[in-house]
Structure 1
Amino acid sequence: MRYIRLRKLGVFAAVCLFIGHGTEALASDSRGHFESVVDEAIRPLMKEYDVPGMAVAVTIEGKRYVFNYGVASKESGRKVGDETLFEIGSISKTFTATLAAYAEARETLSLSDKASQHLPALVGSSFDRISLLELATYTAGGLPLQFPASVTDQETMVAYFKGWQPGYAAGTHRLYSNPSIGLFGYLAAKSMGEPFDELMEKTLFPELGLTRTHISVPEERMGDYAHGYSKAGKPVRVSPGVLDSEAYGVKTTASDLIGFVEANMDGAELEDTLQRAIAATHTGYFKVGDMTQGLGWEMYPYPVDLKQLLEGNSPEVSFKPNRVTRLDPPLPPRDDVLINKTGSTSGFGAYAAFVPAEKIGVVILANRNYPIPARVKAAHQILAELQRAP
């Protein structure tokens, strides 16, 4: 009897071993397929725009694949690897929006609050009539893309905001602005009683499980921090600035950023308050053409063609005032959308896009600020192949 049991166990083990090898082969085949898909989109792009290094991550049905290209530093020849940190520029705004939505879920603020309610120094200014939501969606009335050079610290920041006069009624025009969403993040942190950087580093990133994501790169991680490269090919990194953390300060790996994308598609394992906060960032508040502005994220009905994505990420939308249509009531979060965000610093270019209904997503990180249309085209090409994958 013992012999029979052992024989059955041996057969069972052999079957398990066979199945295991089959699963590994299938996983290997999948990785090989996706690597070919990514190669086809990325290698020509790197050559055309002289991009030294890139990291691309894709996710499909909860499975994650990361592909690395080129060098993190031309000077040392260090290759891009899974630990390489990239500046993600304005994709940071999606983290800022998540923190603010988390604050709202914890009832330390409401998006309908006027900005001056959370910063008494602004009482009596235009910010008595501008809501946190309007700051978050760049509809405060025409705040500029960047602060003027005279704004160098918190004192001059407050003075600037106190004296600023809107060019449009709040909620009527969208003008993409770092000071706008930067102030939104600053006030969100203020409502929670802690500095923004500490809330990100000690609360939000850990709760999201992002162990290789930073505002300030720790000394022990500086060896993994890629050099960005200017148009002249010189090594550069982002310069400190007022509200830089809130607007464009995150540095991360492709693996961590695709993890954030996955949390945006399915955060079931996250704490309930954080789940609600992430979902809230997908609420649509204003429309500009085919693009719907959420909190940090920008959304399109899916399927979306390349022309629509390029228009929504064009200089006309990014750098010029556009009249908006307010969605009243706001558009609840939905799965049948493509959600995206670009990000740039002087030496880095990034893009993230995902489709919750299809459970697919892609992030593309580069240590050169190459044209946004090229990023959008590459991501659209990759997502189309992911959508077709069996």
Structure 2
Amino acid sequence: MLKRIRLPQLALALAALFPLAAYAAPDAAALRQAVDAAVGPVMAQFDVPGMAVAVTVDGQPHFFNYGVAARDSKQPVTEATIFELGSNSKTFTATLAAYAQAQGKLALDDHPGKYVPQLQGSALDGATLLHLGTYTAGGFPLQIPDNLKTREQLFSYFQHWKPDAAPGKQRNYSNPSIGLFGHIAGLALGGGFADAAERDLFPQLGLQHTYIRVPQSAMAHYAWGYSKDQAVRVQPDLFDSEAYGVKSTAADMIRYVQLQIDPSRLAAPMRRAVQATHTGYFKAGPMTQGLGWESYPYPVSLEQLLQGNSTDMAWKPQPVQAIQPVQTAAPALYNKTGSTRGFGSYVAFVPSQKIGIVLLANRAYPNDARIKLAYAILNQLAPAAN
């Protein structure tokens, strides 16, 4: 059995031994040993039933699977196990909107009323689609208010919503904001968001086991999430598909990461869409907010990643500084966390180093634990600094 080590001690120890971007990639046996050593204490500390870890190094995927997809059946986790991605779904929402933009079907400087006529002339119509996609429209809450039960009520809420700040002045991480962004992307592509994602997005990315609506034929691979001792799965709700509704496997998600690192094999519109999600628009503390992805200059410290993924970043308004939206070749780490009631995910990648990691778990353990875990493993993947 692995010796139990407190996660902060483990992360700091590994970071001290292997500072990010200053260590040659290990061989397969060393990588297995490092991942086992990092994952075991996390699963024990937070009572995580199962976890799928995937890493990519110079285009080669590696898979590390732990525990069970369901406690009652004891079905083991594999790279084919389907997990709920939570807010990592937002990166797919952003990609779909960028794909619509690449086809000339929407523009980020359009206003919502162009696609949702009842919003014309509203305070919300003073913001743009870019503001919706970067959570900078002016003060949406994190969650859709509990009293809203129908689409009609939701769009009435948008129609009468009043901002706390001018567009582009503060970031309020928000499911209503990204949800409306994804809804409009679906409209621009000629249908609903879920239809457009499953018809246009996932197949073009080569994701064969990624879904919003898990089909019956795939249900045997769909893990159960756990909240305390209760087995749970995400339930339908307003804008669930757009904000947190994607389900996927470690095998598909590491392919998705590899396409972020090198999108050259994609057809032109989808390639431009993936590249567009790497453009940064607003600085918030150490983090740069793009469409879906959040980025940091690389190399990046553990402290910066923890600050950028903190509870304050998710729950509190953050002042932002608009930056020139130009794609840059400067090294950067891109990342995103995600949770549903019973699942927790984290994805990070560094295109310049050709490395990336996917963490999928059937428990929503704390974000800071995910960051420390991923950081410890990434320290094993980074090639020697130039």
- How does the TM-score come out when normalised to structure 1? 0.90
The 8 Å contact of residues 229 and 236 in structure 1, kept in 2 or not, is answered as: yes
Separation of aligned partners in 1, 2:245 and 2:373: 24
Q: Which has the higher contact order (CA 8 A, sep 6+)?
A: 2
Matched, 1:267 2:263: yes
Q: CA deviation at 1:317?
A: 1.0
Indicate the percent of aligned positions where both proteins have the same amino acid: 52
Q: Would you say 1:151 and 2:148 are equivalent positions?
A: yes
Partners in 1 of 2:338 and 2:85 — Cα distance? 5
Q: Which residue of 1 aligns with 2:247?
A: 251
CA distance in 1, matches of 2:105, 2:36: 46
> After the TM superposition, which segments of 4 or more aligned residues of structure 1 sit over 4 Å from their partners?
none
Give the structure 2 partner of residue 237 of structure 1.
233
Amino acid at match of 1:289: G
Could you tell me how far 1:31 is from its partner in structure 2? 2.9
Kept after mapping to 1: 8 A contact 2:263/2:275: no
1:386 corresponds to 2:381? yes
Matched, 1:292 2:288: yes
* CA apart distance, 1:388: 4.2
Shift of 1:81: 1.4
Match in the other structure for 1:163: 160
Confirm or deny that 1:227 pairs with 2:232: no
2:58 maps to: 61
Report the alpha carbon displacement of residue 206 of structure 1 after superposing the two structures with TM: 0.4
Quickly say closer, same or farther: Cα 1:389–1:222, change in 2 above 3 A.
farther
* DSSP 3-state at the match of 1:165: coil
> Quick one: distance in 2 between partners of 1:38 and 1:358?
19
**Which amino acid in the other structure matches residue 144 of structure 2?**
F
Tell me the secondary structure at the aligned position of residue 194 of structure 1: coil
CA contact (8 A) 2:346 2:359 kept: yes
2:40 aligns to what?
A: 43
73-82 or 100-109, which moves further after superposition? 73-82
What are the residue-to-residue correspondences of 1:305-384 with 2, within 5 Å?
Answer: 305-327=301-323, 329-334=324-329, 336-384=331-379
For residues 9-60 of structure 1, give each alpha carbon's deviation from its aligned partner in whole angstroms, at most 9, with x where no partner exists.
xxxxxxxxxxxxxxxxxxxx93322211211111110001110000000000
Partner amino acid, structure 1, of 2:345? A
Residue in 2 that maps onto 1:26: none
Q: What secondary structure is seen at the aligned counterpart in 1 of 2:269?
A: helix
Give the whole-Å Cα distance in 1 for the aligned partners of 2:329 and 2:284: 18
Aligned equivalents of 1:145 and 1:333: distance in 2? 30
1:304 to 295, 300, 313: 300
Aligned residues: 360
Q: Normalization by structure 2: what TM-score?
A: 0.91
Q: What displacement does 1:330 show?
A: 1.4
SS at structure 1 position matched to 2:181 = helix
CA distance in 2, matches of 1:250, 1:389: 35
Matching residue within 169, 172, 179 for 1:172: 169
In the alignment, does 2:275 pair up with 1:279?
Answer: yes
Q: Which residue type is aligned with residue 380 of structure 2?
A: E
Displacement after TM superposition at 1:152 (Å):
1.9
The correspondence for 2:77, drawn from 56, 80, 94, is 80
Could you report, residue by residue, the CA deviation over 1:291-344 in whole angstroms, capped at 9, with x for unpaired residues? Answer: 0001000000000010000000001111100110011x2142435000000000
User: Which residue does the alignment assign to 1:194?
Assistant: 191
Q: What is residue 113 of structure 1 aligned with on the other side?
A: 110
**How many angstroms apart in 2 are the aligned matches of 1:313 and 1:334?**
24
Provide structure 2 residue ranges, at least 5 long, that are not aligned to the other structure.
1-25
Partner Cα separation in structure 2 for residue 272 and residue 225 of structure 1: 32
Uncovered stretches (5+) of structure 1, i.e. residues with no partner: 1-28
Q: Distance in 2 between matches of 1:388 and 1:200?
A: 35
State whether residues 115 and 187 of structure 1, in contact with CA within 8 Å, keep that contact through their aligned partners in structure 2: yes
Q: The residue matched to 2:75 in structure 1 has which SS?
A: coil
In the alignment, the residues of structure 2 paired with residue 332 and residue 58 of structure 1 have an alpha-carbon distance, to the nearest angstrom, of: 25
**What does residue 22 of structure 1 align with?**
none
CA RMSD of the aligned region, Å? 1.3
SS of the equivalent of 1:279 reads helix
- Any conservation in 1 of the 2:226–2:342 contact (CA below 8 Å)? yes
